[in-house]
Structure 1
């Protein structure tokens, strides 16, 4: 694989059969390798994706599926939650990190919020996601809650970040 640039990545905002299953697969495999998360984490992701699929409304929800050479390499999901939106499933395969894709998707997420007149978003993340947390705060998300969880087959700190748009 030669040098990959942001312009090599296609981003689609339509959901196709198989996408959510693949998103679960990427989360399960990648976080097992990188963070030591177990099968309970994959079950947690699958539960959330099942709820997203059942409630999916293209007028209220948005997906950004990132593809390179017709392969899903990352994604972001904006899931409606009454008057707010949840930022979820933000992940890229390691070889696609550092291209500016995260920043690009953050801009798309905030543009979607503005388009839908949504002023409040939130997300949950874990202590290992230092680079992601730096990106979140750069875009105005603020840490609002901390807790300890054992849902990932090991004790871990979880963090909630909230974003208020003016």
Structure 2
């Protein structure tokens, strides 16, 4: 990434009108275009965004938007997990326009820095094995595959994966390897 690219990029909290709607719409459109996924996926994303919008705890949960020249090109969410010390990374996406600028890495770094500051001890995420680029980002930060299971969702046979990152002294990394 060049110095000029840096000045064209901004990562900010998802607090502007239209941010949450953009997340839902763009996930639906991009995953259909790239993988042929149906509207069941968009409905899943809409549910996650609605839960976040309907009552997230700003001290423990946040969402970010990546912009390129003032246009939204990426997002990620951090929400509470199944236990008080556990958070979940959700909805990482970088559009084709934003790819190649390490925005996915930057979004995950923001997410994990927030998780550490909020006192979480572990971050988990669920993804599918076809999302190779995202998996590479997660592995770069030290996430490890906890388990995987075949499922039929979004009109396709997929392999769902659960990944985990411990934020304690052993698993605490400030950035990708």
Return the TM-score normalized by structure 2: 0.85
What does the per-residue CA deviation read over 1:115-159, in whole Å, with 9 as the maximum and x for residues that have no partner? 112110011111211111111111110000212222211111111
- CA–CA distance in structure 1, aligned partners of residues 57 and 96 of structure 2: 30
The partner residue of 1:144 within 110, 125, 146 is 146
Instruction: Supply the distance in 2 between the matched residues of 1:147 and 1:96 (Cα, whole angstroms).
Output: 30
For the residue of structure 1 that corresponds to 2:92, the secondary structure is: strand
Which residue of structure 1 aligns with residue 66 of structure 2? Answer: 66
DSSP-derived class of the 2:115 partner: helix
Q: Deviations over 1:57-81 (max 9, x none)?
A: 2111111111223321111111122
Aligned-residue offset at 1:108: 1.6
Query: For 2:127 and 2:7, how far apart are their aligned partners in 1?
Result: 28
Tell me if structure 2 keeps the 8 A contact 1:85–1:118: yes
Distance 1:150 1:40 in 2: 11
Identify if the C-alpha distance between structure 1 residues 55 and 83 changes in structure 2 by more than 3 Å, giving closer, same or farther. farther
Q: Which moved more, 1:27-36 or 1:108-117?
A: 108-117
Q: Which residue of 1 aligns with 2:107?
A: 105
The 3-state SS of whatever aligns with 1:111 is helix
- Measure the CA separation in 2 of the matches of 1:16 and 1:59: 18
The whole-number CA distance in structure 2 between the counterparts of 1:148 and 1:118 is 29
Q: Which runs of 5+ in 2 are unaligned?
A: 169-177
Structure with the greater relative contact order (CA < 8 A, sep ≥ 6): 1 or 2? 1
- Contact 1:38 / 1:153 at 8 angstroms: preserved in 2? yes
2:118 corresponding residue in structure 1: 116
Residue 105 of structure 2 aligns to a residue whose secondary structure is: helix
Distance 1:117 1:133, change over 3 A: same
Provide TM-score, normalisation by structure 1. Answer: 0.91
**Structure 1, unpaired ranges of 5+:** none
Cα distance in 2, alignment partners of residues 14 and 23 from structure 1: 10
Match of 1:10 in 2: 10
Q: Is the 8 A contact 1:44 1:151 kept in 2?
A: no
Alignment coverage as a number of residue pairs? 163
